[in-house]
Amino acid sequence: MAEHRKILSNRFDVEDAWTLPVAERHGAYRLARKAVTAMTPEAIRDEVRAANVRGRGGAGFPAGVKWGFLPKDADTVYLVINADEGEPGTFKDRQIMEKDPHRLIEGCICAMWAIGAHVTYIYVRCELVKSIRRLEAAIEEARNKGYLGRRPFGKDYPMEVHVHPGAGAYICGEETALLNSLEGKRGEPRLKPPFPAVEGAFGKPTIVNNVETIASVPDILEMGGKAWSDISLLPESFRDGGTRLYGVSGHVKNPGVFEAPVGITLRELIYDLGGGMLHDDRPLKGVIPGGSSTPVLHPDHVVHAPAETDPLHPWHGKSHLDVPMGVDPMRGIGTMLGTCCAIVMDSSVNMAEAARNLMKFYKHESCGQCTPCREGCGWLVDVLERIARGEGVREDVDLLVDISNNMMGNTICALADGTAMPMLAFIQKYPEDFIAAIERGLGAHTRLDASDASGASGASGRAA
């Protein structure tokens, strides 16, 4: 049975916790005060490194290591919070911003002090109107109370937090496209290097972190990095610590967002926290583990790790559903943990239709700078549409594979890989669905966006 631990989410159920008096009654800003008045920046950085907090935005890069890339002699450093949350199936960051915005602001204060920044920009997807309003109100409250502004907590170290609404483009969640958009330029990814930690916002060294990553910092300081890291169910060697906000949507009885230690399994997420399959007579067909850019997993597929030296050896022969949800274990079975928000699909879904639905999204969102991505996304949709109309031929399956292979590793940002890898996984794991679609078309199949697939687009997630 999955353990449901409320640390980061411990104020989610508290009435009016988005207001400063209520948040403070429940512990807010104690750690920001301690950090700024009683801790050195280096001590905070050490705790964050010891916490083994892997970035919660999708790539899973360790935050402590990223902070260490900042040049030592930088005159200006910025902190940028990625609150774009555009990944289909993902609806966790908005829970923090709507229910407990002061936790994020407190995290920003601790992080600014730790990395030598005076200004934070929170880049929020514009559709998240409630998040934007709650954050702006909370910043105003914190400023009035003297927690932000010229002398936070009486310290002669000015700090400001600004909310910057995006304009609703998925690609602006990619950190360098986000920086361009923040600067008022077209939201297109930049070539890396230079990485943002060296040359980021307005040409200055910048740390870009996800909402949940930074909102975890006060808890890390409260518990101590090592103790926070040890909450994880994964062996220490995986260096993947703490708790995470797990999302689950699609064909489950209880879709929502749940905090639990790193390393629970997809089976626990679906059947314990998610309440099990929505329809008792429709078994699980597949699960996308962490937002739509992560390759789908088949419940009947098992882990192949016969060598004792393989980190996944303890799970050799077990179902993919029983592998712990950590950054590296998920990579080990050919997918990604991503945003840790799973999309559950039952036996009514034809995976060619699921693929068509997702590929249409990526075609729409490709920024068009790179030919393999711009053209590849378009061709994938053209072929899938042809199949859906019942005009496909068997060679179309090979064509989809060929197009996907040509998209990967050849582009400026990871959107192309995040399109091609899921496409390949749908074909490799469910070839029979593509053949069926080629033979009969897709007219009658249940769509991912059918009315009972609650929350798949992220809009209706509940938090617990």
Ligand X SMILES: Cc1cc2nc3c(=O)[nH]c(=O)nc-3n(C[C@H](O)[C@H](O)[C@H](O)COP(=O)(O)O)c2cc1C
| Site for ligand X, rule CB under 6 A | 55-59, 61, 63, 82, 84-87, 171, 173-175, 208-210, 213, 413-415
Backbone conformation region of residue 242, classed left if phi is above 0, alpha if psi is from -120 to 50, else beta = left
Q: Give CA separation, 342 vs 25, 252, 265, 271, in Å.
A: 34, 11, 11, 12
* Closest approach of ligand X to the CB of residue 117, in Å: 15
69's tokens: 């890339």
Residue ranges of alpha helices (H) inside 191-288 are 211-215, 217-223, 225-229, 266-267
299's tokens: 């419940």
| 370 sits near ligand SF4 (criterion: CB under 6 A) | yes
200 or 392, CB closer to ligand X? 200
How many Cβ atoms from other residues are within 10 Å of residue 265's Cβ?
Answer: 21
| 292 sits near ligand SF4 (criterion: CB under 6 A) | no
Task: State the Cα–Cα distance between residues 181 and 188, nearest whole angstrom.
Answer: 8
Tell which positions 197-216 bind ligand SF4, by CB under 6 A: none
What phi, psi does 463 have (nearest 5°)?
-110, 145
* Closest approach of ligand X to the CB of residue 175, in Å: 4
Residue 210: name its binding partner from ligand SF4, ligand X, none (Cβ under 5 to 8 Å by kind): ligand X
- Is the N-terminal amide bond of 71 cis, ω within 30° of 0? no
452, HSE (Cβ side, Cα atoms, 13 Å):
12
Near ligand SF4 by CB under 6 A: residue from 128, 171, 262, 381? 171
Residue 359: name its binding partner from ligand X, ligand SF4, none (Cβ under 5 to 8 Å by kind): none
Residue 216: name its binding partner from ligand X, ligand SF4, none (Cβ under 5 to 8 Å by kind): none
How many Cβ atoms from other residues are within 10 Å of residue 361's Cβ?
Answer: 17
Rounded to a whole number of angstroms, the CA Rg of the chain reads: 22
* Closest approach of ligand X to the CB of residue 69, in Å: 12
Binding mask 378-407 for ligand SF4 (x = CB under 6 A): ------------------------------
What phi, psi does 56 have (nearest 5°)?
-90, 5
Residue 421: name its binding partner from ligand X, ligand SF4, none (Cβ under 5 to 8 Å by kind): none
| 373 sits near ligand SF4 (criterion: CB under 6 A) | yes
| Pick from 113, 104, 35, 115: nearest CA to 67 | 115
Residue 220: name its binding partner from ligand SF4, ligand X, none (Cβ under 5 to 8 Å by kind): none
172 or 252, CB closer to ligand SF4? 172
Near ligand SF4 by CB under 6 A: residue from 33, 143, 301, 374? 374
Residue 261, helix vs strand vs coil: strand
55 or 290, CB closer to ligand X? 55
Residue 368: name its binding partner from ligand SF4, ligand X, none (Cβ under 5 to 8 Å by kind): ligand SF4
Residues 391, 433, 328, 314: what is their CA dihedral angle, to the nearest 10 degrees?
-160
Residue 284, helix vs strand vs coil: strand
6 or 374, CB closer to ligand SF4? 374
119 or 373, CB closer to ligand SF4? 373
| 112 sits near ligand SF4 (criterion: CB under 6 A) | no
* Closest approach of ligand SF4 to the CB of residue 84, in Å: 14
Near ligand SF4 by CB under 6 A: residue from 367, 387, 438, 463? 367
Give the residues lining the site for ligand SF4 (CB under 6 A): 171, 189, 366-370, 373-374, 411-413, 415-416
